[in-house]
């Protein structure tokens, strides 16, 4: 099958992104080894991995939502979501270095009770070692990726089959997988982020922590989808479907998840504050102290209030270039949020995002490194299939209303 013609910027990214990615990763590794060792590198690696991983897994979640609701917004983004979800095998490979080399250096429970004592963690955490141990941690990681990859495989295979067989019964298969798949996604992400994020500080716990990452992934992946759609829809075939109403729909989804992120973040803070338990309040004491109070304020203002009021405006959501700018902005603030959540966990005193100035360029280099490799693979996947599903009867039904109004307008003209 010949490759699909796409936007020149995406073509260039597909050709050169991996070169920039590999060079940036090597640069980040060299700077880390020269400054303090591999631990510095893998601190940045976890943040960068979770950001790009969130785009792929969030896209898989949106793809399952699309197959359940069959909205018009889903048909203009389906192939973008599918291509993004098909990068999960690459991300599974990129996770292996962290799992095998980085994890023993970052998690204070990795060496058992002696390791907890060395890190100055209270003895009462030791009962968690039945769950937090290297072997079980590794097994769970393979289970998570196994579930995500299985969902990705079937949803993408059936999409390809529908293009070739034109079998309308395939749409029922989508629902059979998507309905339980959404539930599996929330459960597996909750457990995965308990393992990969929350266990960096084993004294602390929150039942909302994993779901906050689900919401963040939903917001980030929708922003990424809007950016790619706005580029692809500059010419056919997507230009015939990506009308202002579709961008309006996507903008409303961005607004909804911005609100949901703020609600869940405040709920976690309120529950922790009202409980006032010593092992819980440390998390927010560290992140709202004198050193990080400014970052906390930035997230309140720029992660919620600014995009909230901008996305309330109808005109903003209906102009592709403007919505694309807002999407880039939100993705940048999402990185700050990840650094605020994870950064203090890497510090002995827990009151800084970065332990030293050199960690800033290391983090940026690793973000660019994983991103360059991931984006190259994404563009490759995007060019393997038509940008609009060719023979999906649900698409024709969804857009029949639009075509009816277009015909009426021509008749009146």
Give per-residue pLDDT as tens, 12-49: 999 999 999 999 999 999 999 998 889 999 999 999 99
Asked if the structure places residue 59 within a domain, the reply is: yes
> In whole angstroms, what is the distance from residue 26 CA to residue 23 CA?
5
Short-list 194, 197, 202, 205, CA closest to 123: 202
Higher pLDDT, 89 or 71: 89
pLDDT tens figures, 161-176: 988 888 888 888 999 9
Has residue 345 been placed in a domain? Answer: no
Residue 228 lies in a domain: yes
**Residue 359 falls inside a structural domain:** no
pLDDT tens string 283-294: 999 899 888 999
pLDDT, greater one: 25 or 355: 25
At 116 the pLDDT is 67
- Is residue 198 a contact partner of residue 204, using CB atoms and an 8 Å limit? yes
The residue ranking higher by pLDDT, 390 or 154, is 154
Average pLDDT, the chain: 91
Looking up tokens 């599974």 gives 92
Q: Is the pLDDT of residue 1 over 50?
A: no
- Nearby residues of 352 by Cβ (< 8 Å), 6 or more positions away: 291, 292, 343, 344
d(C-alpha 194, C-alpha 188), whole Å: 10
User: Is residue 349 classed as helix, strand or coil in its secondary structure?
Assistant: coil
Structure confidence at residue 402 as a pLDDT band (50, 70, 90): low
Q: Residue 120 belongs to what domain range?
A: 8-250+365-396
**What percent of the chain stands above pLDDT 70?**
93
Q: Does the pLDDT of residue 117 top 70, yes or no? A: no
Percent of the chain with pLDDT over 90: 73
pLDDT bracket for residue 397 (50, 70, 90): confident
Residue 321, in any domain of the structure: no
Q: Is 316 a domain residue?
A: no
Average pLDDT over residues 100-106: 94
Query: What's the number of domains the chain is made of?
Result: 1
State how far the alpha carbon of 154 is from the alpha carbons of 79, 147, 377, 412, in Å: 14, 11, 20, 45
pLDDT at 333: 98
pLDDT score, position 366: 98
Comparing 352 with 24, which gets the higher pLDDT?
A: 24
Cα separation of 21 and 409, whole Å? 49
Q: Does position 327 have pLDDT exceeding 70, yes or no?
A: yes
Would residue 143 count as lying in a domain? yes
Q: What is the mean pLDDT of residues 73-84?
A: 96
Q: Please tell me the predicted confidence (pLDDT) of residue 410.
A: 28
Q: What is the 3-state secondary structure (H, E, C) of 239-255?
A: HHCCCHHHHHHHHHHHH
Q: What is the pTM of this model?
A: 0.94
Token pair recorded at residue 3? 């490759």
Residue 199 phi, psi (nearest 5): -75, -5
**Residue 113 belongs to a domain:** yes
- How far is it, in rounded angstroms, from Cα 74 to Cα 55? 16
Site of tokens 């023979």: 391
Between 100 and 400, whose confidence is greater? 100
Q: For 124-163, what is each residue's pLDDT tens digit?
A: 677 788 888 999 999 999 999 999 999 999 999 999 998 8
Scan for tokens 């991995």, then name that residue: 49
């Amino acid at each position: 099958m010949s490759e699909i013609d796409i936007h020149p910027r995406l073509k260039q990214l597909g050709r050169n992104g991996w070169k920039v990615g590999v060079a940036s990763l090597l640069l980040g590794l060299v700077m880390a080894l020269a400054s303090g060792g591999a631990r510095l590198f893998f601190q940045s690696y976890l943040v960068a991995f979770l950001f790009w991983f969130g785009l792929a897994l969030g896209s898989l979640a949106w793809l399952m939502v699309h197959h359940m609701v069959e909205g018009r917004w889903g048909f203009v983004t389906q192939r973008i979501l599918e291509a993004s979800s098909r990068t999960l095998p690459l991300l599974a490979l990129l996770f292996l270095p962290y799992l095998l080399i980085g994890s023993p250096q970052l998690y204070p429970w990795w060496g058992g009770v002696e390791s907890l004592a060395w890190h100055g963690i209270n003895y009462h955490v030791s009962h968690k070692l039945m769950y937090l141990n290297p072997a079980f941690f590794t097994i769970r990681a393979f289970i998570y990726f196994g579930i995500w990859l299985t969902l990705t495989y079937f949803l993408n295979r059936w999409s390809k089959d529908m293009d070739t067989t034109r079998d309308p019964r395939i749409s029922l298969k989508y629902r059979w997988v998507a309905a339980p798949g959404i539930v599996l996604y929330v459960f597996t992400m909750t457990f995965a982020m308990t393992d990969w994020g929350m266990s960096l500080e084993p004294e602390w716990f929150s039942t909302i922590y994993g779901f906050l990452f689900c919401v963040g992934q939903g917001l980030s992946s929708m922003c990424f989808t809007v950016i790619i759609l706005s580029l692809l829809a500059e010419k056919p075939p997507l230009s015939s479907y990506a009308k202002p109403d579709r961008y309006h729909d996507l903008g409303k989804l961005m607004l909804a998840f911005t609100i949901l992120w703020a609600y869940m973040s405040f709920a976690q803070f309120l529950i922790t504050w009202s409980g006032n338990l010593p092992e819980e309040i440390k998390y927010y004491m560290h992140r709202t102290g004198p050193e990080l109070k400014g970052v906390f304020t930035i997230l309140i203002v720029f992660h919620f209030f600014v995009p909230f009021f901008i996305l309330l405006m109808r005109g903003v959501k209906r102009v592709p270039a403007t919505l694309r700018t807002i999407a880039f902005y939100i993705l940048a603030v999402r990185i700050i949020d990840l650094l605020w959540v994870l950064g203090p966990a890497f510090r002995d005193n827990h009151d800084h995002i970065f332990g030293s100035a050199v960690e800033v360029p290391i983090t940026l280099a690793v973000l660019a490194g994983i991103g360059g490799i991931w984006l190259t693979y994404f563009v490759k996947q995007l060019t393997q299939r038509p940008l609009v599903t060719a023979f999906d009867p649900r698409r024709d039904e969804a857009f029949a209303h639009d075509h009816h109004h277009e015909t009426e307008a021509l008749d009146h003209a």
